[in-house]
Structure 1
Amino acid sequence: VDCISVAASGMDSPKQVSTFFEAGYNAVLVGEALVRSDDPAQFIKACGA
């Protein structure tokens, strides 16, 4: 069975997002941190997307 693993919620920095990807997660749900960011596009780029 193929399974997609998603880290959902609680991300507050690009470093934290990167940690989940390095741990093998396929996706992350970033909400509040992105909305609160002064530069959402840069936040996404810093996450490695």
Structure 2
Amino acid sequence: MKAFLKSDLFLRFLGGFAIGAVGMVMLQPDEPPMFSSTAVAATSTDGSAL
């Protein structure tokens, strides 16, 4: 197990994971996504759309 933790494969995976995690935090949008908001339907009943 100790040899695996010091292996080049594990260290490259760990480094890539750390870079990816930092990139995900840095590239997050400032405003929340619109997926959770409810849709607003048009409620016009004046008959012009008929």
Could you state the TM-score of these two structures normalised by the residue count of structure 1? 0.26
Higher alpha-carbon Rg: 2
Could you state the TM-score of these two structures normalised by the residue count of structure 2? 0.26
Q: Which has the higher contact order (CA 8 A, sep 6+)?
A: 1
